[in-house]
A and B are shown apart, each in its own frame.
Chain A
Amino acid sequence: MPVNHTQAILDGERLALTRALTQVENNSTEGLEILEALFPHTGNAHLIGVTGAPGTGKSTFVNQLALAYRKLEDGTTPPRVAIVAVDPTSPFSGGAILGDRVRMQDLAGDPGIFIRSMASRGSLGGLAAATAGLVQVFDAAGFEIIIIETVGAGQAEVDIARLAHSTIVIEAPGLGDEIQTIKAGILEIADILVVNKSDKPGADNTLRSLRNMLSLAQPNGNQTMHHGEMTEMDPEENQTPNTWIPPVLPSVATTGEGIHDIVNALGAHLEYLKVSGIWQEREEARLQDQLENLIATALRSHWEKRIPEDTYQDTLAQVIKRKVSPWRAAEDLILGAGL
């Protein structure tokens, strides 16, 4: 890639940026060169993941969160905000409808905001394979806040926790009883839990059961049950530099109610990540994850090049006839490729 193109992206030129995002998303040779050239400039942005079930209000919430960051009234220049919104690809046609922008109309016309929609293109786990790459491009382009909105996720789409520094899980009233809250999966990855649509009936119940769930995990957490009465303690008193108790916060994303508390909680979480050294740990884990994924992909494509299609089809036929077990077949095919 020409040096001046890299420079244009670093300078935040929007046309260069958008074209770079496409190359990275398409996993083209140019896209790889772009990532290569930008890599030394990454590692500065606060990556915020927003996940939760379909219809809990993730896009509307992201809209408000971005607005709040752009209107921070602490006298400093507001951070530039990038949004990567992932929606599912149809497993049948390979097409997708990316509709997250519909809820983000308030952000139009602000040059400090850049929204990019992406289709999951067959990835499970709530993100697309290229999401991490897109985030790195935004990071290099100087966006201080990068919000990543996942596919409407069920219980196990937890990839976002590996990518983001701070993960917000959005819940809404009426989505399940207390047993749902102690299952493994999506709630475990939350750094901040938000009960959106908290003006709806049942919101108090949802807030309470999520807080109960957290108090099971953190018996000395932010609240205790005493003789059947809930005693709430100030979460801030219980946060120490080396522990983080995920706060459970209400919001109404359609009006923006509660958003400022959430921005403050994100600020506190960032502070905690830096002071405790966990920021560094997460960066290391993320880069290791990325490296391992790249090796896995490269090994696979190397293997595909070296194993003749006939050999593969013959072995597969043997497996289908139950003459050879899939385990044995896999081993033979890997050895057969000289790996």
Chain B
Amino acid sequence: MGDTQSKIRVLIAKAGLDGHDRGAKVVARALRDSGMEVIYTGLRQTPEMITEAALQEDVHVVGLSILSGAHMTLVPKVLKLLKEQGLDDIKLFLGGIVPDDDKPELTKLGVTGIYGPGTSTQVIIEDIQKACQ
């Protein structure tokens, strides 16, 4: 048979109730241009929808974009649901507005990377590639 092809698959989701998806789209585009397959799910995703999509798409990475301030509620819920589905090998990345005070707690919960406004997309790409090795 032909060559085995494996690509890094990333789910990009806007969790919760905010409609600002420009950041998510910029990241999705940058990941595409680095050769990844990006499943874009659109706005207002619940943790249940995100977990279901991550399962169906068998992604390596979930990238959550949250600008509403609800990250301390949404992120633990997504991590818990992923674990319940047997998907604890998925790496969770978080982008948006996250106060520095919350970062240690989120990292402890299992978030692999947290990125605020102005982050270079190259940094995100490299971190994802490293996490998927």
Contact pick for A97, options B2, B40, B49, B87, CB 8 Å: B40
CB of B111 closer than 8 Å to a CB of A: no
Q: Is the CB of A121 within 8 A of B5?
A: yes
Q: A21-B58, A102-B42, A109-B48 are in contact. Are A97 and B32 (CB under 8 A)?
A: yes
Measured between beta carbons, the chain A residues less than 8 angstroms from B48 are 108-109
Measured between beta carbons, the chain B residues less than 8 angstroms from A25 are 5
Q: A95-B38, A101-B42, A102-B42 are in contact. Are A117 and B32 (CB under 8 A)?
A: no
B96 to chain A, nearest CB (A): 19
Q: Is the CB of A27 within 8 A of B35?
A: no
Contact pick for B4, options A26, A105, A129, CB 8 Å: A26
Measured between beta carbons, the chain A residues less than 8 angstroms from B49 are 105, 108-109
Q: Is the CB of B39 within 8 A of A117?
A: yes
Q: Is the CB of A27 within 8 A of B56?
A: no
Q: Is the CB of B37 within 8 A of A26?
A: no
Chain B residue nearest to A32 (CB atoms) is B1
Q: Is the CB of A119 within 8 A of B55?
A: no
CB of B33 closer than 8 Å to a CB of A: yes
Measured between beta carbons, the chain B residues less than 8 angstroms from A95 are 7, 31-38
B1-43: contact bitstring with A at CB < 8 Å (1 yes, 0 no)?
Answer: 1111111000000000000000000001101111111111110
Measured between alpha carbons, how far is A94 from B3 in the docked complex, in Å?
A: 15
Q: Is the CB of B7 within 8 A of A119?
A: yes
CB of B105 closer than 8 Å to a CB of A: no
Q: Is the CB of A27 within 8 A of B39?
A: no
Q: Is the CB of B40 within 8 A of A102?
A: yes
B23 to chain A, nearest CB (A): 15
Measured between alpha carbons, how far is A153 from B120 in the docked complex, in Å?
A: 35
Chain A residue nearest to B28 (CB atoms) is A97
Contact pick for B40, options A98, A294, A300, CB 8 Å: A98
Interface of A is mostly: mixed
Chain B residue nearest to A121 (CB atoms) is B5
CB of A14 closer than 8 Å to a CB of B: yes
Measured between alpha carbons, how far is A105 from B45 in the docked complex, in Å?
A: 9
B66-99: contact bitstring with A at CB < 8 Å (1 yes, 0 no)?
Answer: 0000000000000000000111000000000000
B12 to chain A, nearest CB (A): 9
Interface size on A, residues (CB 8 A): 39
Measured between beta carbons, the chain A residues less than 8 angstroms from B5 are 25-27, 121
Q: A14-B55, A97-B28 are in contact. Are A28 and B4 (CB under 8 A)?
A: yes
Measured between beta carbons, the chain A residues less than 8 angstroms from B3 are 27
Q: Is the CB of A98 within 8 A of B38?
A: yes
Q: A28-B4, A101-B39, A102-B41 are in contact. Are A93 and B32 (CB under 8 A)?
A: yes
Measured between beta carbons, the chain A residues less than 8 angstroms from B35 are 93-95
Residue in B6, B39, B87 with the greatest tally of chain A CB atoms within 10 Å: B39
Measured between beta carbons, the chain A residues less than 8 angstroms from B32 are 90, 93, 95-97
CB of A254 closer than 8 Å to a CB of B: no
Q: A15-B85, A108-B52, A116-B56 are in contact. Are A27 and B38 (CB under 8 A)?
A: no
A237 to chain B, nearest CB (A): 43
Chain B residue nearest to A99 (CB atoms) is B40
Residue in B40, B85, B87 with the greatest tally of chain A CB atoms within 10 Å: B40
CB of A18 closer than 8 Å to a CB of B: yes
A78-114: contact bitstring with B at CB < 8 Å (1 yes, 0 no)?
Answer: 0000000000011011111111011001001100001
Measured between alpha carbons, how far is A90 from B52 in the docked complex, in Å?
A: 26
Q: List 24 A-B contacts (CB under 8 A).
A: A18-B57, A18-B58, A26-B6, A27-B4, A28-B6, A90-B32, A93-B32, A93-B33, A97-B38, A98-B38, A98-B40, A101-B41, A102-B41, A105-B49, A108-B46, A108-B49, A109-B49, A115-B56, A116-B57, A117-B39, A121-B7, A129-B2, A297-B1, A301-B1
A97-B38, A101-B40 known; 8 new pairs, CB 8 Å cut-off, are: A15-B86, A28-B6, A95-B35, A97-B28, A97-B32, A101-B39, A119-B7, A129-B2
| B interface residues (Cβ-Cβ under 8 A, vs A) | 1-7, 28-29, 31-42, 46, 48-49, 52-53, 55-58, 85-87
